[in-house]
A and B are shown apart, each in its own frame.
Chain A
Amino acid sequence: MKSHKIRVRVNGKELDAVVEPRLSLADFLRQDLGLTGTHVGCEHGVCGICNVIVDGRSVRSCLMLAVQVDGRSVETVEGLAQDDKLHPIQEAFIEEHGLQCGFCTPGFMMSIKELLDRNPKPSEDEIMDVLGGSLCRCTGYRAILRSVHNAIAKLGAAA
């Protein structure tokens, strides 16, 4: 199988890689780059657990191919905390008990980050629309919803 050379910015760091065309973005991040914080839940685009941000928009990394991010910028959960400090979204999840097993949480946080990056004061419908795109089996979701509101308050206070 013919391999392709790609250049991609991941969590702010530019890098070159050689990938098979069939390699998913999720597998590329996890296996080629060792960024195992992005988890894979269904590999058919329903559960949202593998969500990452590409050029500012959240995507299912199981449904995108690594070759498609050539020349683009990818953000993963590993890029959230900076300088030994958790991101306000991460702090909010701790305070609101927004996670239990934590397997789905990186995907949720990345889609929430996309929302709040674009719109620091989203409506309830906009929040529900984003959370409705991912599955969590542990929390019953309401604690995640509270985490979003907590994060909005934190980010608003910091701004």
Chain B
Amino acid sequence: MSVEIPNALSSLPTSSLRHIGRAQRRVEDPSLLTGRTCFIDDVVLPRMLHGAILRSPFAHARIVAVDTREAEALPGVFAVITGTDALRWSHPALSSPEGWGTHCLATEKVRFVGEPIAAVAAISRHVAEDAIELISVDYEPLDVVADPIRAMEPGSPLVIEARGSNVMLDRLFQWGDVDAAFASADVVVGESFRWHRMGANPTETYGCICEWDPLDLRLTVRGSIQSPSMFALGRAATFALPSNRVNVISHPHGGSFGGKGGARGTDITCMLSRKAGGRPVKWIEDRVEYLTSGGGQAWDRHYEASLAVQNDGRVTGLKVRLIDDLGATGEAYGAICTAKPLAAFTGPYTIPVAEYDLKLVATNKLPSGPYRGMGPPPHFFVLEQLMDMAARKLAIDPAEFRRRNFIRKDQFPYTIPSGNEYDSGSYEEVLDAALELADYPAMRADQAKAREAGRLVGIGVASAIEPGVFDWNAYAIVGMPGTGVPEGATVNIDILGFVTVRVGFSLEGQGQYTLVTQLVSDYWNVEPSLVRVVYLDTQSAPPSFGPGGSRLGVAITGAVLGACDKIRQKMSRVVAALMQTEPAHIAYRDGKFFISGVEGAQMTVAEVAGTMLARSDLLPPDIDPRPEATHVWTAAGRTPADDQGRAKSYLTAAQAVHVVRVEIDRDTGFVEIQRYCLADDCGTRLNPATVDGQTDGSVAQGIGAALLEEYSFDEDAQPRTTTFMDYLMPTVYEIPEIEKVAVVTPSPFTPLGAKGCGEGAIHTTPAAVMCAINDALAPLGQMAREVPAAPNRLWKLIRAAERNANS
């Protein structure tokens, strides 16, 4: 049976689309707004204990002794575990690159501040924390390596001695004859850049409740888990359990952005449950734990990059050298963030050849992890600064410079040098739409006036690609095996015709249950208020990865529509049998099965479902009487990576142009964003209201990245940003109104022509804001090379310019 999944809204079996493609109220909201959505810390289980974790105050130290006797003696304490328990009960974490994982509790030494050393399960969190204070640890401090450049030198202290080096990966990728392109260039621009470590910081920290069944050897993990099926496999590996003995129940969570983390804390909590005889143990990470030792510290990067350009403005080559400080281990999969740029290495441009010199280095910092965008945002920051440097050198307007290098509409599908294929795009239209929205000529004229008055006003015009619908093959260079990321859904119609959809991911904020509701409402011609979307745990759900890699909107659309089509085909056979004709004569539209041209020969979906469930005796003998089907959607045509990492990986390529006006205060270095305009093309917009929401939030995170957010460490790798007073999240004051316009170029390869759009604007925003800042600084002969462009950094550049002017 071949399954038909419509690739355009117009192919849905409805005469008038009422829900999909239109801004819709979210089905998630009433429960969230009344405080009834069940987040993990809201869950109380019978017999439940509470965990707390003792963490290292040193970045690098040998553990001489751990004394837990006083803690164990405290009334209300049920379990205390240390590295000794980790050694006997667990394996080192899986990692990327492979072989750089450690145990979840430090065994011989600690490798970063905040590394867990011991943990307690007690009758309450208060008692657990009291007990933690009673554990004494003798440390012998070791030399610390906090800087990846130093870490690569021979004789540097080793983070993991057994590896013999701190270099986790050192590879040169060349796609085409890059040296020839640079040798024959009219102009070469090059610069070094520093992107400081920053990250996700969802408003809800990570939390879990783990229950180890000691007799039946079963593990149940409830938590605020973004990717439950992957998470279940990880726990099975840690504890050498058969994967069917691990059940993960994901709860709605307060954001994730890839940076929920939680693997270590979960493994520790599982062992606490085991030591406490199988009582469930809850561990909720607090904010200081999240900021010092949680998930989502990402993108700690040192760049050198250059661009080869012809005098006519054509860019002919790109070289990027990246040293990425991954922190102490590879357990948090931050390495993936250095591989993902291959999916869009040359951005929206026709740059024909490129080179990537990639070094991943271990230091005594928290293992770095994923964050929204997964690595391209810093890459595009670098590329777009180079584009502006070249434009400035050739005296070409930056918007025009980009236009000359855009991939043209007739060139799609377009394969970039690093191997990925872009599906479709209308880059010039997007540029024009953004420039028109901003009234770019007037903006420039106004800037000229402001400059004459001595003000530091800058305009940034930047464009980037958002790779959508990820595949594992995109990360082959850092050791992620395999190809294919399935997403499944089960659609069920009950005896009265009401529709329920069962999925394998929980709520995270993107409105995906609303999307599912929209799809089935239009497909089956039912009111959204009568549709139910139900979450299933990993033991019950169809194959599912869940949200991630700008993928779920496209993938769940394919799964739901595939399941709907299977039910349609099944019901067509039933109706044909009842009407004594062939299934080919049965049509379906607007909630009714009918024979074209035969009056009265029609049945509603509810009638068919009722007949199937009540009168299986009337059905063709080989038909399953349930009006239900499961479909698993996986992106087709993905290819294994070659030795240079080239693969057809991400299925879609959304594109955006952002136009930003900033002003820098000469006295303080403070940046004000005065206008923020963007045009965005993410294909068919399935729920424009939630797409806009993703864009707004992603711009805000991009502004945070460009101006505010930084995990700061001292020279001994001591974290200096341990509260929200130090790690600066954007507030309403820092985020301007985002003026938006949409261009729609459907993807030819996806359900309904939608493209991945969840990670969105953060691909472009830091680049655009930094372009604007550097445009403002250009008259001073200065350039901001560090992100975030915090006031102190810009203030120094402005003072340096004044000194130069005076000398």
Residues of A within 8 A of B (CB): 20, 22, 30, 35-44, 46-47, 49, 76-78, 80-81, 86, 90, 93-95, 97, 99-106, 109, 128, 131-132, 134-145
Contact = CB atoms under 8 A, between A and B. Distances in A.
Contacts of B41: 30, 36, 39-40
Contact of B32 (A78, A105, A131): A105
Interface string B2-39: 00000000000000000000000110111011111111
Contacts of A134: 731
A132 B734 CA distance: 9
Given A41-B287, A101-B204, A135-B729, A81 B255 contact: no
Nearest to B702: A140
Contact of B255 (A20, A47, A80, A101): A101
A41 B723 contact: no
Interface in B246-279: 252-255, 257
Interface centre among A40, A94, A135, A140 (most CB of B within 10 A): A140
Contacts of B37: 102
Contacts of B229: none
A30 B149 CA distance: 48
B693 A100 contact: yes
B582 interface: no
Interface of B: 25-26, 28-30, 32-39, 41-42, 126, 200-205, 252-255, 257, 286-288, 507-511, 689-690, 692-693, 696-701, 723-725, 729-733, 735, 737-738
Closest 3 CB pairs of A and B: A37-B35, A103-B254, A102-B32
Given A36-B42, A94-B26, A102-B509, A137 B255 contact: yes
Contact of A101 (B202, B205, B699, B724): B202
A101 B508 contact: yes
A93 B257 CA distance: 22
Given A36-B42, A80-B34, A135 B203 contact: yes
A136 B729 CA distance: 9
Contacts of B701: 137
16 contacts: A30-B41, A36-B35, A36-B39, A37-B34, A37-B36, A38-B35, A44-B725, A94-B29, A102-B32, A102-B37, A102-B254, A103-B253, A131-B732, A135-B203, A135-B731, A136-B203
B546 to A, nearest CB: 14
Given A100-B511, A103-B254, A139-B700, 12 more contacts: A20-B126, A39-B203, A42-B724, A46-B724, A93-B29, A94-B25, A101-B202, A101-B252, A101-B255, A102-B28, A106-B33, A145-B732
Contact of A78 (B30, B34, B200, B692): B34
Contacts of A43: 286-287
A95 to B, nearest CB: 8
Nearest to A102: B32
B287 A137 contact: no
A97 B33 CA distance: 11
Contact of A103 (B36, B203, B286): B203
A132 B730 CA distance: 10
Contacts of A131: 731-732
B130 to A, nearest CB: 10
B602 to A, nearest CB: 37
A74 to B, nearest CB: 14
Given A46-B724, A138-B509, A35 B254 contact: no
B699 A140 contact: yes
Nearest to A23: B126
Nearest to B291: A42
A140 B738 contact: yes
A35 B35 contact: yes
Given A97-B689, A132-B732, A105 B33 contact: yes
Contacts of A47: 203, 287, 724
A104 B42 contact: no
A41 B699 CA distance: 22
Contacts of A41: 203-205, 254, 287
Which of A35, A97, A100 neighbours the largest number of chain B CB atoms within 10 Å of its CB?
A100
Contacts of B33: 77, 80-81, 86, 90, 93-94, 99, 102, 105-106, 109
A137 B28 contact: no
A131 B730 CA distance: 12
Nearest to B35: A37
A53 B227 CA distance: 36
Contact of B257 (A97, A136, A137): A137
Contact of B201 (A95, A137, A144, A145): A137
A33 to B, nearest CB: 12
A141 B36 CA distance: 23
A139 B731 contact: no
A99 B32 contact: yes
B80 to A, nearest CB: 22
Contacts of B737: 142
Given A36-B41, A94-B30, A135-B729, A101 B35 contact: no
Contacts of A138: 203, 255, 509, 693, 697
Nearest to B204: A103
Nearest to A49: B203
A39 B34 contact: no
Contacts of A100: 255, 509-511, 693, 697
A80 B733 CA distance: 27
Contacts of B507: 101
A108 B420 CA distance: 43
A67 to B, nearest CB: 15
Interface-centre pick from B252, B255, B507 (highest chain A CB count, 10 A): B255
Given A35-B35, A94-B33, A100-B509, A139 B253 contact: no
Contacts of A104: 203, 254
Contacts of A143: 693, 696
A35 B41 CA distance: 12
A44 B723 contact: yes
Specify which of B202, B203, B730, B735 lies most central, judged by the most chain A CB atoms within 10 Å of its CB: B203
Contacts of B36: 37
Contacts of A30: 41-42
A76 B35 contact: yes
Nearest to B692: A97
A86 B690 CA distance: 22
Contact of B35 (A78, A99, A128, A139): A78
B39 A103 contact: yes
Of the candidates B254, B257, B732, the one having the most CB atoms from chain A within 10 angstroms of its own CB is B732
A39 B42 CA distance: 9
A99 B697 CA distance: 10
A97 B687 CA distance: 12
B203 A101 contact: yes
B219 to A, nearest CB: 25
Contacts of B286: 43
Contact of A140 (B200, B690, B696): B696
Nearest to B255: A101
B696 A139 contact: yes
A51 to B, nearest CB: 13
A31 B202 CA distance: 22
A144 B732 contact: yes
A19 to B, nearest CB: 12
A76 B41 CA distance: 17
Contacts of B254: 39, 41, 101-104
A49 B510 CA distance: 19
Contacts of A86: 30, 33-34
A40 B286 CA distance: 9
A22 B124 CA distance: 13
